[in-house]
Amino acid sequence: MAKRLHLIGLVAALSVAVATPASATEESRMSLEEKVGQLFVTYAYGATADTTDPAHVAANRKELGVDNAKQLIEKYHLGGVIYFAWAGNTATPAQTAGLSNGLQAASRLPLLISTDQEHGVVYRVGEPATQFPGSMALGATRSPALAHEAGRIAGGELRAMGINQNYAPDADVNVNPLNPVIGARSFAEDPGLAARLTAAQVEGYQRGGVVATAKHFPGHGDTNVDSHTGIPVINHSREQWERLDAPPFRAAIGSGIDSIMTGHLVVPALDPSGDPATLSKPIITGLLREKLGFRGVVVTDSLGMAGVRQKYGDARVPVLALKAGVDQLLKPPNIDLAYNAVLKAVRDGELTEARIDESVRRILKLKRQRGLFANRYVDPNPVVGVPSSLRAAQDVADRGVTVLRNSALPLADKPAKDLVTGWGTTAEPAPAKLAQSLTRRGAATTVLPTGAKPTQAQIDAAVAVATDLNVVITNNASAEQQQLVKALQGTGKRVVVIGVREPYEAASLTGTYLATYSYARPALEAAVRVVYGEVSPRGKLPVTVPGHFAFGHGLTWRI
160 close to 93: Cβ distance less than 8 angstroms: yes
Cα–Cα distance, 366 to 370 (Å, whole number): 6
Cα–Cα distance, 231 to 217 (Å, whole number): 15
Cα–Cα distance, 517 to 545 (Å, whole number): 14
**Chain-centre distance of CA 379, in angstroms?**
25
Question: Helix 335-347 and helix 69-76: axis angle, to 10°?
Answer: 10
Widest CA span of the chain, in angstroms? 81
Residues 6+ apart with CB under 8 A from 220: 172, 179, 181, 182, 227, 232, 234, 263, 265
Phi-psi region of 119 (alpha: psi -120 to 50; beta: other; left: phi over 0): left
Residues 6+ apart with CB under 8 A from 92: none
Cα–Cα distance, 85 to 67 (Å, whole number): 19
Q: DSSP per residue over 332-376, as a string? A: -S-HHHHHHHHHHHHHTTSS-HHHHHHHHHHHHHHHHHTTTTT--
236 close to 191: Cβ distance less than 8 angstroms: no
Question: Helix 144-160 and helix 387-400: axis angle, to 10°?
Answer: 140
Cα–Cα distance, 369 to 120 (Å, whole number): 29
Cα–Cα distance, 470 to 158 (Å, whole number): 38
Cα–Cα distance, 255 to 149 (Å, whole number): 15
- The one-character DSSP state at 505 is G
In 3D space, the residue among 213, 166, 159 whose CA is nearest the CA of residue 384 turns out to be: 159
227 close to 179: Cβ distance less than 8 angstroms: no
Containing 422, the helix (H) or strand (E) segment is strand 417-422
Phi, psi of 522 (to 5 degrees): -60, -35
Catalytic residues: 228, 301
In 3D space, the residue among 527, 347, 554 whose CA is nearest the CA of residue 420 turns out to be: 527
